[in-house]
Amino acid sequence: MAVAVGVVACLMSAACSPAATSTSPTVPASPAPSQAASGRPGCLVGEAWNNYSEDRIALWDQPAIEKQIDAAGGTHEFVDAKSSVETQVTQIDEFVAKGADVIIVRVMFGPDGGLAQETKGAIDRAVDAGVPVIVYDYLIDDPKALVVAFDPVETGRMEARAILAARPKGNYAIIKGHPTGQLEPDLIASGIHEVLQPAIDKGDIKIVAETYTVNWDPYTAQTEMETILSENHYKIDAVISEDDNMAGGVVAALKEVGLDGKVAVAGQGGDTWGLNRVALGTQTVDVWPDLRLRGKAAGDAAVALCKNPDISKVNGARPLSLPKNQATALLVTPQPIMKDNLNLVIDSAWTTKDYVCKDVDPSKAPPACR
C-alpha cells in the first residue's frame, strides 16, 4: 500500500515534469507585461513564458535574465501563456510582428509530454523571419533555436558518482522520467550509465531494474519501487532517481519496509524536500540547478544574439546530437548537494535552514543544520 510521499514539489530542472510546481515563496501570478521604452535603445528581447504562476520564474529565472539585458542597454518585455499552447503561439508571432530582436521561450508541451508542434512551428517561423530564438529550460530537437538548459548528461553523471561513492558494490535500480516525447530521461540515463559501466563490467554492481515513470509522478515511482523491492527480495543497495519528486516516492517505498536511510538514493532538482531528505540522511545527493546561472547564460546569449543572430557564434554554445537533429546548445553545469555542502543552498537563499533542517536529529545534524 502506498504511503504519503509528502510535499514533493519540484523546482523546475532539466528533467522535472512540466506540471510540477516549486516550494518557493508565493508571488503574484501573471503580472502585467513589462513595457519596452518608446524609441528604445539597444535591442528588444521578448520573453514568452509558458506559465508565469510558477513562483521560480519571477524569483530566479527572470531577474537573472533581465539583469544581463539591462546591463547591456537592452530592453525586455514578457508575456504569460498561462499554460495555453494557442496563446503561446500567438505571443511568439506577435513578438516577431512588433520587431523583437531576440525571443526567449519556455516552451509548451503536447499530449505526449514532448514539445507541442504548434509551439515548434511558431519558433521556426520566428527564426525564418530573422529573429533568433532561445529555448529556455527544456531541450528540444530543433536545429533552428539555441537551447539554454542544465546539462542533463552531466546531471546523470553527478548522481551516479555520488551514489557509486556511497555504495561501490551491490544492486542498483534506476528510476527514469517520462517515457515519450521528452529528451531528458534518456540523456540523464546516458550520464548515469557512463559512470556506472566500469563498475558493472567489474561485477561490482548490478542494475536489477530500470524503469520509465509516466509524468515523473512520485506516486507511480513509489509503486515502481515497491515492485522492485519485492521482486529483488528487498536486496537493493542504491536507487538513482532522475528527479526529486520521484526520489520522494522512492524514499516512501523504502520507509514502508524500514530501508529509508539504509539504501543510497539520488535525486536532482534542488527541491526543498529533496534537500531536507539529504539533511535527514534518507537521500544521498540532490543535484541542484542554480537557476541564477542558467538565467545569466540566457541573458548573455540574448545580448550576443542582438549583435549577431548566428546561434553557433554564442560564447559557450556547442553542437548537441539529438535523436533527429544536430541542435545548438548552451548547457549549464549544476551542483551536487550532499550533507557536507548543504550550506550552499541556504546561503544562496534558494531555501531556508528551517526547511532544509526540518525534523533533523541534532545529534546527527549535518554542518548546515547545527
Mean pLDDT of 84-96: 96
pLDDT (tens digit, 9 = 90+) per residue, 219-238? 999 999 999 999 999 999 99
Residue 24, pLDDT above cutoff 60: no
- Chain centre to alpha carbon of residue 51: 15
pLDDT (tens digit, 9 = 90+) per residue, 316-349? 999 998 888 889 999 999 999 999 999 999 999 9
Which is it for strands 44-49 and 264-268: parallel, antiparallel or unpaired?
unpaired
Which residue in this structure is represented by grid cell 508542434?
A: 117
Q: Count the residues in the chain.
A: 370
Residue 247, pLDDT above cutoff 80: yes
Under the banding of pLDDT at 50, 70 and 90, the label for residue 11 is very low
Tell me which CATH code domain 44-149+290-332 carries.
Answer: 3.40.50.2300
Total-model pTM: 0.87
Under the banding of pLDDT at 50, 70 and 90, the label for residue 205 is very high
Average pLDDT, the chain: 89
Under the banding of pLDDT at 50, 70 and 90, the label for residue 41 is low
Residue 301, pLDDT above cutoff 90: yes
Mean pLDDT of 261-284: 97
Q: Which residues of 70-100 are buried (b: 16+ CB within 10 A; e: fewer)?
A: eebebbbbbbbbebebebbbbbbeebbeeeb
Give the residue, 192 or 140, on which the prediction is more confident.
192
Residue 67, pLDDT above cutoff 60: yes
Mean pLDDT of 113-125: 88
Mean pLDDT of 76-81: 97
Element (H, E) at 264: strand 264-268
Q: Are 279 and 366 in contact (CB under 8 A)?
A: yes
Name the CATH topology of 152-289+335-369.
Rossmann fold (3.40.50)
One-letter amino acid at 230 equals S
Under the banding of pLDDT at 50, 70 and 90, the label for residue 111 is confident
Give the residue, 33 or 214, on which the prediction is more confident.
214
In this structure, what C-alpha cell is assigned to residue 246?
520521484
Mean pLDDT of 289-306: 97
User: What DSSP designation does 53 have?
Assistant: T
One-letter amino acid at 202 equals K
Q: What is the pLDDT of residue 33?
A: 40
Under the banding of pLDDT at 50, 70 and 90, the label for residue 92 is very high
One-letter amino acid at 175 equals I
pLDDT (tens digit, 9 = 90+) per residue, 350-365? 999 999 999 999 999 9
> Residue 147 and residue 134: Cα distance in Å, rounded?
6
Domain ranges in the chain?
44-149+290-332, 152-289+335-369
Same topology, domains 44-149+290-332 and 152-289+335-369? Answer is: yes
Q: What is the pLDDT of residue 30?
A: 37
Q: What is the pLDDT of residue 271?
A: 95
Q: What is the pLDDT of residue 12?
A: 35
Q: Are 96 and 127 in contact (CB under 8 A)?
A: no
Q: What is the pLDDT of residue 182?
A: 84
